[in-house]
Structure 1
């Protein structure tokens, strides 16, 4: 017979005695750990003597679970057990919690292809839900915008002007500088390639076509997506974290009308103007390179531009700007409303708004390019 303060094992019988409570947990845990080598024998014993068992609480039941195992403890908790009903209920409750926690923490067994398909399915479902959220928010924004448009007294001119300054005027230097440099780079590349064919004059067409149709509006939209969409998300997300949006609703105001519509309207006005500045800056950068490396004077550059480049290319480029502006503003505001209330959530959704905005700008630009090519525009 192996004797311990609370556990006796004698042949095919296990005797439990004393108070199995939190007060004796340290001693009980050490005894259970010392007798773990006998657990296999304990699981096969024919009888468990509980006559000398004193008080019992959840800490004691958890140690019994370790010592006797799930199946033996379930037998003690069954209706056939000699234990009182309240102790059987305690055993069942604690055993269920322990089994549930063990099952939830156990690693799921699978295989590589199934795991890949599972992750793909989860990603597609999340993408589908996000598309539905964006579509719904676009509908709410359009509905609120038309509702406000028909009521001039509800126009928020001050908010519109402030957002127009931040999104438009403050972005002019960075847009102009970057597009000027990119225009110079495009001209350098065109001069390097076309000079080998004796067609350096077509560098003018390359710079003009690329900036009027593609680079002007797309580069501007990408810059605005990184600069303005993140600002919209951070501003609205901080308000949501501070429960200011809830205060707006309690005050009887519409957060979409108060926060989203002025920002969307400001970006709808600012992005076409920034795109025009980007087109001019890119062409000026290309003109400077042509004048310095190809000996194409500004007068000749403008003459070739006027004769070779039609107005429709400018119209196609400018038509993309409002679409980009609307999508960027909606995504930035939506991600702000999805902030959950912590600084980490603000950062995550700000990053998400920038990534989504840049992605949607490139996708829409590619679709528009294919459409215009098929239409012969």
Structure 2
């Protein structure tokens, strides 16, 4: 039989009582954000100073024991960070020498002082451009590689494993990189000096009719050995900065692969910044000393 009772629709469920509104997290003002960044920068600077001190102590402990010098590891790092960087260093410095000579020739022709392009190219390349451009290229090439390698080892817990079996990562991993770059970068700077001056020589010959023999004769009479030594000394300091910052940021990696990328980028940015600051300080000091 058919059900003749009317169908009663179900009652809607009672809406849950609305609780108190969620409290919004307070937004930090610009002054507080600036203070937090300043504190973080200071703490990171202190940590870097501590890292440099630990590296220096490790070097002092290793120095009297030749069997701990890890010559093979140093040679391997020199090959990777130095020898394999020769093409890009040589090409970049050659083009830079061409640019310096071209810009100088454009101005010196107005005063009939074509021969002074030799002085311009010599002083610019030996004292400033060769060590600076070599350091910046190596910071982006080798410094980032150091940070990525050590960061990956931290993520894979290989650094903790080394400490567990009694191997000091500072002696095993960090010192060979610092020593290798301290040897490689001055040699790369010397190579950049040669290719940069050669680029200026080619441009002077084509734009100012200054032959190679005339260029080299004036270059030998005008340039002093102090300019070359200044550039090589600056490159040694730049090498210590690049290797130290790269290893420091790599060992500060925490978390996963994203942290490796962040620390690698940070190492390049900080290295280039510190290189430029150090170069500016060198310029001020040389001006005061009359060099």
Q: Same fold (TM over 0.5)?
A: yes
Picking from 81, 91, 112, the partner of 1:198 is 112
Q: Is 1:181 aligned to 2:91, yes or no? A: no
Query: 1:108 Cα deviation (Å)?
Result: 2.2
Q: How far apart, in 1, do the equivalents of 2:27 and 2:141 lie?
A: 45
The one of 50, 59, 84 aligned to 1:170: 84
Which runs of no fewer than 5 residues in structure 2 stay unpaired?
A: 1-9
Residue 352 of structure 1 pairs with residue 266 of structure 2: yes
Q: Which residue of 2 aligns with 1:247?
A: 161
Q: Secondary structure at the match of 2:14?
A: helix
Select the structure of larger CA radius of gyration. 1
For the pair 1:324 / 2:204, whether they are aligned, the reply is: no
Decide which of 226, 231, 236 is 2:150's aligned counterpart: 236
TM-superposition CA deviations, 1:223-267 (whole Å, max 9, x none): 000000000011111111111111101111001100000000100
| 2:159 is equivalent to residue 213 of structure 1 | no
Matching residue of 2:172 = 258
Contact 1:168 1:271 in 2 (8 A): yes
What residue number does 2:284 align with? 370
Contact 1:335 1:353 in 2 (8 A): yes
Shift of 1:107: 4.2
1:291 maps to what in 2?
205
Aligned mates of 2:73, 2:275 — CA distance in 1: 26
Please state how far the C-alpha of 1:109 moved relative to its aligned partner: 5.9
3-state DSSP of counterpart to 1:31: coil
Instruction: Give aligned pairs, total.
Output: 282
Q: Distance in 2 between matches of 1:251 and 1:198?
A: 71
What's the counterpart of residue 153 of structure 1?
67
Q: Which residue, out of 281, 288, 307, partners 2:195?
A: 281
Superposed CA RMSD: 1.7
Residue 160 of structure 1: how far off its partner (Å) = 0.8
Residue 52 of structure 2, aligned match among 119, 138, 143 = 138
**Distance (Å, rounded) in 1 between the aligned partners of 2:245 and 2:186:** 18
For 1:375 and 1:217, locate their aligned partners in 2 and report how far apart those are by CA, in whole Å. Answer: 20
> Equivalent residue of 2:218, what SS?
helix
- Counterparts in 2 of 1:337 and 1:282: CA distance versus 1, 3 Å: same
Distance in 2 (CA, whole Å) between partners of 1:191 and 1:256 is 50
For 1:108, which of 15, 18, 26 is the aligned residue? 26
Determine which structure has greater relative contact order: mean sequence separation of CA pairs < 8 Å that are 6+ residues apart, divided by chain length.
2
Q: Could you list the runs of 5+ residues in structure 1 that have no partner in the other structure?
A: 6-26, 34-62, 70-98
Moved over 3 A (4+): none
